[in-house]
């Protein structure tokens, strides 16, 4: 297992075959992507074999990722039952505008994790919820009301180990065929930069609570 942990893309199932030069085998780069993104896609097949892919919030916790969701959700019930899952996280970094349709592409960082989820209970479940909350908005968990016993019951928290995973990163400009270089077409990269907008207060926010917390300002300054 240590060997798996050391090396994204090192199993037969996770070896990047298509454009293998984009494979990244650096575990810290995997961590960086998982820490930077806020949304992933979790996939599992039901008993008929039909796969379902759903967008989910998540957080990295050491060498695992954590998910939370309704205990009644089909996806979470499937995952809690231990079916094989596939989890992906993608950050789109820009468009690669080549002179031909064939060479036009995207710049991205993209991770895939294969495995089985386990269900967290008790203290680790509560800690997991906190970690997901803090991943989305660092500094807020201390301020908001903690989940009640009823809310905890209605929420499943799952852990997926980062044992079998891969990371693929595409960056750089277009690589056009030399025959296309003289075409009268602009070519290059269009980087994509994400940033938060202005906070919009809730309609029912009491005036005495109107001050924007510092942790929101700090988070807004982060551009991924």
Ligand X SMILES: Cc1cc2nc3c(=O)[nH]c(=O)nc-3n(C[C@H](O)[C@H](O)[C@H](O)COP(=O)(O)OP(=O)(O)OC[C@H]3O[C@@H](n4cnc5c(N)ncnc54)[C@H](O)[C@@H]3O)c2cc1C
CA-closest candidate to residue 143, choices 43, 215, 40: 215
Angle at 154 between CA 152 and CA 160, to 5 degrees: 75
When binding is defined by CB under 6 A, the residue of 110, 157, 161, 162 that contacts ligand X is: 110
Determine the length of the chain: 224
When binding is defined by CB under 6 A, the residue of 79, 111, 132, 158 that contacts ligand X is: 111
When binding is defined by CB under 6 A, the residue of 4, 45, 106, 137 that contacts ligand X is: 106
3-state secondary structure of 10: coil
Q: Is 118 exposed, middle or buried (0-12, 13-18, 19+ CB in 10 A)?
A: middle
Instruction: Indicate whether 39 belongs to the interface with ligand X (CB under 6 A).
Output: no
When binding is defined by CB under 6 A, the residue of 79, 85, 112, 132 that contacts ligand X is: 112
Q: Which stretch binds ligand X (CB under 6 A): 11-19, 149-157, 185-193, 194-202?
A: 11-19
Cβ of residue 42: shortest distance to ligand X, in angstroms? 15
What is the per-residue binding string for ligand X in 15-34, x denoting contact by CB under 6 A?
Answer: xxxx----------------
How many Cα atoms are found within 13 Å in the side-chain-facing hemisphere of 15?
4
Q: Which stretch binds ligand X (CB under 6 A): 9-17, 36-44, 46-54, 203-211?
A: 9-17
Q: What is the DSSP string of 146-170?
A: PPPHHHHHHEEEEEEESSEEEEEEE
User: Binding residues for ligand X, how many (CB under 6 A)?
Assistant: 16
Residues that bind ligand X (CB under 6 A): 13-18, 90, 92, 106, 108, 110-112, 166-168
């Amino acid at each position: 297992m240590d060997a798996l942990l050391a090396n994204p893309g090192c199993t037969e199932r996770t070896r990047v075959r298509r454009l293998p030069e984009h494979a990244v085998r650096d575990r810290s780069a995997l961590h960086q992507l998982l820490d930077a993104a806020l949304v992933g896609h979790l996939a599992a097949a039901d008993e008929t074999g039909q796969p379902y892919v759903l967008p989910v919030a998540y957080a990295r916790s050491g060498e695992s990722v954590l998910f939370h969701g309704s205990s009644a959700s089909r996806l979470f019930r499937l995952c809690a039952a231990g079916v094989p899952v596939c989890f992906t996280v993608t950050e789109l970094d820009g468009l690669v505008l080549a002179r031909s349709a064939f060479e036009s592409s995207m710049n991205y960082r993209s991770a895939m994790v294969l495995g089985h989820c386990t269900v967290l209970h008790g203290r680790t479940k509560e800690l997991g919820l906190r970690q997901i909350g803090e991943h989305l908005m660092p500094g807020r968990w201390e301020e908001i009301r903690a989940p009640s016993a009823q809310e905890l019951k209605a929420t499943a928290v799952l852990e997926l180990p980062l044992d079998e995973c891969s990371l693929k990163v595409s960056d750089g400009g277009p690589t056009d065929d030399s025959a296309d270089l003289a075409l009268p077409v602009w070519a290059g990269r269009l980087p994509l930069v994400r940033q938060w907008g202005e906070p919009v207060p809730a309609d029912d926010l009491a005036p005495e609570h109107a001050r924007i917390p510092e942790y929101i300002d700090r988070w807004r300054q982060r551009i991924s």
